[in-house]
Amino acid sequence: MRYEWRAAFANADLNGLHAQGFGQGLRDTDWLGQVERHSLGWVCAYEAARLIGFVNVAWDGGGHAFVLDTLVARDRRDAGIGRALVEVAERETRAAGCEWLHVDFAEELEAFYVGACGFTPMRAGLIALR
C-alpha cells in the first residue's frame, strides 16, 4: 500500500471509484485535468498498481483548503485507508502554507470526519443549485 500526493492516475480508475462511492453511473470525467487546473493537490492510495483510494484538496489560492471526494474502493473500506488519505492531505496542505482545512459532509459521515480524522464540527450553510 502506498499513498502519493499529486500522483498520476487514470481517469477511468477514478471514475470507477466515483461510481462506487457516490452510487452514480459510470461517467467519463477528465478528473486529472480538473485537479491539475483547480486543486492544491490530491492523494491517491495504491495497492500494487490498483487505485483503491482518493481525496481531492481544492483551495482558494491562499489560506483555505477543502477536502472533496474522499473515496475508498468498496472492497477495501474499514481498513484505515480513508483516514490515511486525509492524514496525507492534512500534512501536504500544512506544508503548502494553508491555515485551514475544511470539509463538508453528510451526517452519516460525522464519525469518520470528526471522530477518525479529527475535524472540529462547525456550522455551515449550503445552497442547492440543482
Domains in the chain and their CATH numbers?
2-116 (3.40.630.30)
Mean pLDDT, residues 111-118: 94
Predicted confidence band of residue 126 (pLDDT cuts 50, 70, 90):
confident
Q: Using alpha carbons only, what angle is made at residue 52 by residues 8 and 50, rounded to the nearest 5 degrees? A: 65
Mean pLDDT, residues 22-35: 92
Mean pLDDT, residues 79-84: 97
pLDDT at 23: 84
* Residue 46, pLDDT above cutoff 90: yes
Mean pLDDT, residues 34-48: 97
Q: Which of 38, 34, 44, 88 is nearest to 59 (CA)?
A: 38
pLDDT at 48: 95
Coil vs helix vs strand at 73: coil
pLDDT at 11: 97
The Cα 50–Cα 35 span in angstroms is 19
Predicted confidence band of residue 127 (pLDDT cuts 50, 70, 90):
confident
* Residue 80, pLDDT above cutoff 80: yes
CA distances (Å), origin 63, targets 20, 96, 97, 127: 32, 9, 7, 23
In the numeric block, the cell 477536502 is attached to 67
Predicted confidence band of residue 123 (pLDDT cuts 50, 70, 90):
confident
